[in-house]
Amino acid sequence: MIDSSMKVGELVAEHYQAAKVFKKYGIDFCCGGGKTVAEACAAKEVSLDEFQNQLATALTQNNNGTAINANRWNPAFLTDYIEQEHHTYVRETMPTILKYAQKVAKVHKDSIPASSEILTLFQALTHDLTLHLADEEQNVFPVIRKKYADVPVKAEELSQAIKTLEVDHETAGTIMKRLRQITNDFTPPEFACNTVRVLYKLLEEFEGDLHQHVHLENNVLFPKVADYC
């Protein structure tokens, strides 16, 4: 049985299978990773016993062998993985979502009142993430790789850079929460056309990738790097 006083982020970092249980109950395991399991369940009014039972079942499964245990990776390798897996996904997917969001906002502005806000929010998210990814790739990740290779770096500057990235994560998380809210948990109206349905599905997938992306940084990479600072 998992200790309910364990922090959410630490639990997912140690047991990747826990992520799908947190997602099932709508518990934020990336930006909200600092809460204990008990606190997170209480905030969502989820029975702790029920959650523990679901978690126990999940920990016996291997997620079809597709999941990773990044907690075992060194920081340099982890930055490479984040860039190749998540940065690539974000850059490839954002233009597609924007295209659908623009079309839906134009065609369905009356039948789906939230469509204009969806477009505005995702435009803001695209702008923020574009700057965020560039900052990681050009300024932060190279320093982490140098530090792991025992090249002297300014620990104070690295620590401050990480704090800035964490603020960026909070901002992105807030936007995604709002998108989930105004789309009724990414559930399209019954009358929705295929364009709307594809948009909502892409947004939901984007949220899932972002959660994993932020989790790998907030709960795995940054704590490892903290040992340097």
Q: For residues 185 and 89, give the distance between their C-alpha atoms in angstroms, rounded to a whole number.
A: 22
What residue segments make up the domains of the chain, in order of their start? 8-65, 72-226
Q: What is the pLDDT of residues 171-224, one digit of tens each?
A: 999 999 999 999 999 999 999 888 899 999 999 999 999 998 999 999 999 998
Q: How confident is the model at residue 153, as a pLDDT? A: 63
Average pLDDT score over the chain? 87
- pTM of the entire predicted model: 0.75
Pick 145 or 186 by higher pLDDT: 186
Q: Can you give the three-state secondary structure of the chain, one letter per residue? A: CCCCCCEHHHHHHHCCCHHHHHHHCCCCCCCCCCCEHHHHHHHCCCCHHHHHHHHHHHCCCCHHHCCCCHHHCCHHHHHHHHHHHHHHHHHHHHHHHHHHHHHHHHHCCCCCCCHHHHHHHHHHHHHHHHHHHHHHHHHHHHHHHHHHCCCCCCHHHHHHHHHHHHHHHHHHHHHHHHHHHHCCCCCCCCCCCHHHHHHHHHHHHHHHHHHHHHHHHHHHHHHHHHCCC
Q: What is the pLDDT of residues 67-126, one digit of tens each?
A: 567 888 889 999 999 999 999 999 999 999 999 999 999 999 889 999 999 999 999 999
Instruction: Assign 65 a pLDDT band (cuts: 50, 70, 90).
Output: very low
Q: How confident is the model at residue 16, as a pLDDT? A: 62
Question: How far does Cα 19 stand from its chain's mean position?
Answer: 11
Report CA-CA distances (Å) from 46 to 23, 34, 55, 149, 185.
Answer: 12, 18, 13, 44, 18
Q: Is the pLDDT of residue 19 over 60?
A: yes
Q: Is the pLDDT of residue 12 over 60?
A: yes
Q: Is the pLDDT of residue 66 over 60?
A: no
Amino acid at 143: V
